[in-house]
Structure 1
Amino acid sequence: MEPGGQPNIQHMLQQAQRMQEQFMSLQRELAETEVQGTAGGGLVTATVNGQNEVTKIVIDPGAIDPEDPADTAETVADLVLAAIHNAVEEAQKLAQEKMGPLTEGLGGLGGGLGLPGM
């Protein structure tokens, strides 16, 4: 606050700039992070990056029953979907964990400004 009780706009803008830089840095870090999810006790493993893009699927040969290919295909498809969902959930948890403190800070800054929607 300035001596007259007014907020120091320059200081607030500098804080906002620092927070924006931290936010961008975290976004880059998360985009490069890979997270795995599994299904079927590890029969299928899906890897996603921090942008929730699937980058790899691994299917254990034990998931395939050569005696019943039709049923196996359906089962493996279900396991692949479950592994992807698991990996995306893990990626979202990681993003929340990393971004949570920063977004809480943004809420505090916005509240201090008294601006609607901040």
Structure 2
Amino acid sequence: MRDIMGMMGKVKEMQAKMEQMQAEIAALEVEGRSGGGLVTVRLNGKGEMLGLKIDPSLAKEDELEILEDLIVAAHKDAKTKADSETQEKSKALTSGLPIPPGFKLPF
């Protein structure tokens, strides 16, 4: 019975840590750049776009396709950074737990 109580205590502790980590991830802001900084995208930890900056030199009608590609590239850069930071936070939380490789937590 003591083992179950100890296990329940660890579960509650883990749940509190997960809630804290989810709040940290939601508050996380990352910035992705492309075109040597001509396009900048800001995302939160959930991957939602918070801002977009475009250098005025790209606002030419004949360069719209380039601009579109740079926006997509900047978004991908920011998303990759957000995913990497989320993974690092998850790794720190789950260290020492017997979780199979490649298992993704639900956030």
TM-score (norm 2): 0.85
Determine the C-alpha separation between the residues in 2 that align with 1:103 and 1:77. 39
Q: What does residue 66 of structure 2 align with?
A: 75
Shift of 1:106: 3.9
User: What amino acid is the match of 2:6?
Assistant: H
Determine the C-alpha separation between the residues in 2 that align with 1:46 and 1:106. 35
Alignment of 1:22 onto 2:13: no
Q: What does residue 102 of structure 2 align with?
A: none
Q: What does residue 55 of structure 1 align with?
A: 50
Determine the C-alpha separation between the residues in 1 that align with 2:97 and 2:19. 13
Determine the C-alpha separation between the residues in 2 that align with 1:50 and 1:78. 23
Alignment of 1:95 onto 2:86: yes
Shift of 1:20: 0.8
Report sequence identity in percent: 36
Give unmatched runs, 5+ long, in structure 2.
100-107
Q: What does residue 12 of structure 1 align with?
A: 7
Q: Which runs of 4+ in 1 moved over 2 A?
A: 62-65, 103-108
Q: What does residue 36 of structure 1 align with?
A: 31
Q: Is the 8 A contact 1:47 1:57 kept in 2?
A: yes
Larger Rg: 1
Give unmatched runs, 5+ long, in structure 1.
109-118
TM-score (norm 1): 0.77
Q: Pairwise CA RMSD of aligned residues?
A: 1.9
User: What amino acid is the match of 2:89?
Assistant: K
1:101-112 to 2 correspondences below 5 Å: 101-107=92-98
